[in-house]
A and B are shown apart, each in its own frame.
Chain A
């Protein structure tokens, strides 16, 4: 009943400035869905359309079975947590949480019960009489969430709720939001962020949006799926590059032929790599892009003729040590250096030559349009 369906949704600001294009999306009952994307991709706009704060779009939005395009925000059974919290500065914490219920003419004792219950869940009972300006960032965040909880909505909407908090608090509040999701299993949640860590940590489903030319060409949605699906099976170069830090290494190559265990590609530096994808649609010599995540490049001790297949040998240009792991920057063959993430100190020195294996099932191959070739 609380699924959210968007069909053929488009929106532009003014006549010539599209922000959302061709969004078809279903968010299931009780699902935690994250809208993720770079700034300007329209993720907040999309959320505000579900809330009813953005009007004048084409397409249809349903919450449950009801088409809500003409329904006032207050009547959509949604609650929203804003980026800057949007607490009413002239009202106490209690009044902030009670305000919506009072507007709805909820009986007084019922309001009191719900506010105290929410305060208990969020551990802000001692703060109920305070004014918002007397609260810390984390406390304000809790009050904003409390204001959403008391309305017992069918859908929770979060608009970058953690971006005003410092790093440590952000991790903490992230886990609290996950707890909130567990406590209200019936409610669906839509959460907007530009932070992939938050998205990976929280989401049942990620909707990755892209902006600008890609949006105009392919529609707003770059890929929808479970976090690990997006991570391990990105549909295109944009998704592959957006998720993961440091970003996936991209190496220009040419298609050298299809064999039983995958597509063989030749790198400009001479190596050949086999990627277990279906390259049958490609012409011989077609330009492709090979993608390998830094953590998948495994150091190989052997050298020279002893090297097996699937290896790259490069000069080390720099090493960054983080204790637990190190980033090894490798020169050659690409405009940006390749990065390998190795465990511990790794034992590399700038100026050395080093070899790394790229295991076949960790390699991705993209055609000239940037679309991923499907894995075998």
Chain B
């Protein structure tokens, strides 16, 4: 019994160990907190500071202009159009993605053996970078060489061929279609997990009570998915409000701002027009809008949850 007793040197060692223990949380958290402070908190604050400047981002010619940028933003039709486009993107993302994802989830849920391979293949678009997809679909939609118009021609619907990305009427819709194409499988897998967690005994009990598969789906499985659906909607809306890459690559926000989003508008102001101050105002406004909508959504979905 020697080894243990030699280690118990008494108060001194124990005291040191205790103070080390008190410091331990700080040591474990320090790297994360430090990085977040430098690369998230500080930039957030700095963005609001920059929003009060008139500055091209180069040299020391920054000029403090107070709330001028914010006043400009309030009446900047381009910004509000961009924000409106974000909202359209969010609304159509939810309206298109949720039903299709749910249908596909139910299909795969009933597909038996083939469902695994289908799920794996459906998931492929999620592995692609937005840039890759952007370039691919930019070509896909191309007015002269694009396979989409070629296909329309081929089936005799040539009159429907359009300059999909170059026409202000179609640009946003064309991009939304790609967004949905990419993210439907994500929500499908989410719904599949929700369906898989539906207890088999309940559907067996319902069958004994004479319920059909259809009834079980509408009356039992769908209510069971309510929580998952809510999560999906929150994710989809927040994602849409922050969207950037794919649109930037496909249209750059054009034509004539038809597919402009808050993020692309911010980017254009900073890195194309070199209005770093005003760009930061747009970024800060975008932050406020996203946080507001997100907290309303989360609050709403939580309150709903306690009622259930």
Q: How far is the CA of A109 from the CA of B30 in the complex (A)?
A: 40
Q: How far is the CA of A26 from the CA of B8 in the complex (A)?
A: 22
Q: Give residues 142-159 of A contacting B (CB, 8 Å).
A: 151-154
Q: How far is the CA of A281 from the CA of B166 in the complex (A)?
A: 105
Binding site of B, secondary structure by majority: helix, strand, loop or mixed?
Answer: helix
**Number of residues from A at the complex interface, CB < 8 A:** 16
- B1 A77 Cβ-Cβ under 8 A: yes
Q: Give residues 65-120 of A contacting B (CB, 8 Å).
A: 66, 70-72, 74-77, 101, 104-106
Q: How far is the CA of A100 from the CA of B47 in the complex (A)?
A: 52
Q: How far is the CA of A101 from the CA of B14 in the complex (A)?
A: 19
Q: Give residues 55-111 of B contacting A (CB, 8 Å).
A: none
Q: How far is the CA of A250 from the CA of B277 in the complex (A)?
A: 86
B272 at the interface (CB under 8 A from A): no
Partner among A72, A75, A154 whose Cβ is within 8 Å of the Cβ of B1: A154
Minimum distance in angstroms from A191 CB to a CB of chain B:
21
B7 at the interface (CB under 8 A from A): yes
> Which A residues are in CB contact (< 8 Å) with B17?
72
Partner among B3, B5, B14 whose Cβ is within 8 Å of the Cβ of A70: B14
| Interface-central residue, B3, B5, B14, B17, by most chain A CB under 10 Å | B3
- A152 B14 Cβ-Cβ under 8 A: no
Minimum distance in angstroms from A317 CB to a CB of chain B:
39
- Give the A-B contact count at a CB cut-off of 8 A: 33
- B8 A76 Cβ-Cβ under 8 A: yes
Q: How far is the CA of A103 from the CA of B209 in the complex (A)?
A: 61
- B4 A151 Cβ-Cβ under 8 A: yes
Nearest residue in B to A104 (C-beta to C-beta)?
A: B3
- B14 A153 Cβ-Cβ under 8 A: no
Partner among A66, A104, A153, A154 whose Cβ is within 8 Å of the Cβ of B7: A104
Q: How far is the CA of A74 from the CA of B1 in the complex (A)?
A: 13
- A75 B3 Cβ-Cβ under 8 A: no
- B3 A72 Cβ-Cβ under 8 A: no
Partner among B1, B8, B13, B18 whose Cβ is within 8 Å of the Cβ of A152: B1
Nearest residue in B to A71 (C-beta to C-beta)?
A: B14
B112 at the interface (CB under 8 A from A): no
Q: How far is the CA of A369 from the CA of B1 in the complex (A)?
A: 49
Minimum distance in angstroms from B83 CB to a CB of chain A:
48
Q: How far is the CA of A76 from the CA of B8 in the complex (A)?
A: 7
> Which B residues are in CB contact (< 8 Å) with A66?
8
- B18 A75 Cβ-Cβ under 8 A: no
Nearest residue in B to A186 (C-beta to C-beta)?
A: B1
- B7 A71 Cβ-Cβ under 8 A: no
- A152 B4 Cβ-Cβ under 8 A: yes
Q: How far is the CA of A373 from the CA of B227 in the complex (A)?
A: 62
B31 at the interface (CB under 8 A from A): no
> Which B residues are in CB contact (< 8 Å) with A74?
7
- A153 B15 Cβ-Cβ under 8 A: no
- A70 B11 Cβ-Cβ under 8 A: yes
Nearest residue in B to A67 (C-beta to C-beta)?
A: B11
- B14 A77 Cβ-Cβ under 8 A: no
Encode contact with A along B224-254: 1 for CB under 8 Å, 0 otherwise.
Answer: 0000000000000000000000000000000
> Which B residues are in CB contact (< 8 Å) with A72?
14, 17-18
- B8 A101 Cβ-Cβ under 8 A: no
Minimum distance in angstroms from A140 CB to a CB of chain B:
24
- A104 B4 Cβ-Cβ under 8 A: yes
Provide a sorted-by-A list of 17 A–B residue pairs whose CB atoms are within 8 angstroms: A66-B8, A70-B14, A70-B15, A71-B14, A72-B14, A72-B18, A74-B7, A75-B4, A75-B7, A75-B13, A76-B8, A104-B4, A105-B3, A106-B3, A151-B4, A152-B4, A153-B1
Q: A72-B18, A77-B4 are in contact. List 8 more A-B contacts (CB 8 A).
A: A66-B8, A70-B14, A70-B18, A75-B4, A75-B8, A101-B3, A104-B3, A105-B3
Across the A-B interface, the 8 shortest Cβ-Cβ residue pairs: A75-B8, A77-B4, A152-B1, A104-B3, A106-B3, A71-B14, A72-B17, A70-B14
